[in-house]
Amino acid sequence: MDLSSLGGKKEKMSSTKVCEMWEEQLKELEAIHHLSGNYLINLTSDNRAKVLAHSITTQFKEDTVEGKTRQYYGTYDLEMQKSEDGWRIKSFKYILNFINSNIEME
């Protein structure tokens, strides 16, 4: 999981740990709207693929002074691996293009 473009770190994390991290970081928000699309999929072998996708995320928090929303615009750079259970994310990198509106949500 590489969130370094957001000021985070690059580290190996289980899917459970990723969900716990996002739950903690997003618990103060009232709403989140996430869109991703324009998937570019490159099969590198029978059981591996690289995926790029654009994303927009809008977060809403009522109790703020500087505006009620924050928007992230970026790209997902994923490596996928096929297993007996189907395709799974092997690596996840988020590349931030820009943030708009109330960046600190204060």
Asked if residue 45 is part of any domain, the answer here is yes
Asked if residue 92 is part of any domain, the answer here is yes
Cα dihedral 22, 1, 45, 97 sign? positive
Q: Which range marks the domain in which residue 77 is found?
A: 4-101
Please, which pLDDT band fits residue 11 given cuts at 50, 70 and 90? very high
What is the reported pTM?
0.87
Helix (H, G, I), strand (E, B) or coil at 28: coil
Q: Per-residue pLDDT tens for 60-80? A: 999 999 899 999 999 999 999
Asked if residue 9 is part of any domain, the answer here is yes
87: domain CATH number is 3.10.450.50
Asked if residue 106 is part of any domain, the answer here is no
Rama region for 38: left / alpha / beta (φ>0; ψ in -120 to 50; rest): left
Asked if residue 86 is part of any domain, the answer here is yes
Quick check: 71 and 31 in contact, CB under 8 A? no
Q: How many domains does the chain have?
A: 1
Q: Per-residue pLDDT tens for 43-56? A: 999 999 999 999 99
**pLDDT computed for residue 21 by the predictor:** 92
Average pLDDT (10-30) is: 93
